[in-house]
Amino acid sequence: MKQSLGAKPIAYPTPVFLVGSYDADGRANMMNAAWGGICCSVPPCVMVAIREERHSYQAIIDRKAFTINIPSRELVVEADYFGIASGRNQDKLAVAGLTVERSELVDAPLLCAAPLVLECRLLSTQQLGSHSLFVGEICDVKVESSCLDRAGLPDARKIDPLVFAPGNSAYFALGDCVAQAFAAGKKLMP
């Protein structure tokens, strides 16, 4: 028996994207965004939703670039801090004791401590209401060598990404591997 909760932004899982940008003063900033996801395969694109009042909003529009940095479990305190503080009045990277390097592909900073980083060129923005939808073309994916599997692909288990749960407002880690995609469903194919 299902109950109605009303119109709410709730779905599972949501990511923990640390969105990197340079502001008008050239200072690197990271914000935490749970509203986002991959949105195209060719060209590879990622979407992130940002409130206009966020310091990162104008920075990304001005530089036409951002990074998506995927934090591992051990970065949970820093990731949450990036969501509750503003780069407008704090140097969040200095407070968190984390370093960035400049992307060679787009005008945005890479978070050195993140095991996986996407470098994105801003393709479009769409104003929806409280948030605007930013679509970026993924120019490159960079991953820590220690997080690759034998086939040279990123290993989700080694990356150990954070997973956000709205409603509970809790961060989770990945759990059991339940099944292989494009394989488990074959037993139902006629």
Q: Is 43 in the site for a second copy (CB under 8 A)?
A: yes
Q: Is 20 in the site for a second copy (CB under 8 A)?
A: no
Distance, CA of 57 to CA of 31 (rounded, Å): 10
| Least separation in angstroms between CB 67 and a second copy | 12
What is 45-103 written as a DSSP string? EEEEEEETTSHHHHHHHHHTEEEEEE-BGGGHHHHHHHHHS-TTTS-HHHHHT--EEE-
Enumerate residues 150-179 that contact a second copy by CB under 8 A. 153-157, 159, 161-179
Enumerate residues 110-149 that contact a second copy by CB under 8 A. 110, 116-118, 123-124, 126, 128-131, 133, 135, 137-145, 148-149
Q: Is 66 in the site for a second copy (CB under 8 A)?
A: no
Please provide the size of the chain in residues. Answer: 190
Cβ(56)–Cβ(110) below 8 Å: no
Distance, CA of 29 to CA of 35 (rounded, Å): 18
Give the binding-site size for a second copy (rule: CB under 8 A).
107
Which residue in the set 23, 27, 37, 58 belongs to the binding site for a second copy (CB under 8 A)?
37
Of the pair 24, 173, the CB lying nearest a second copy is at 173
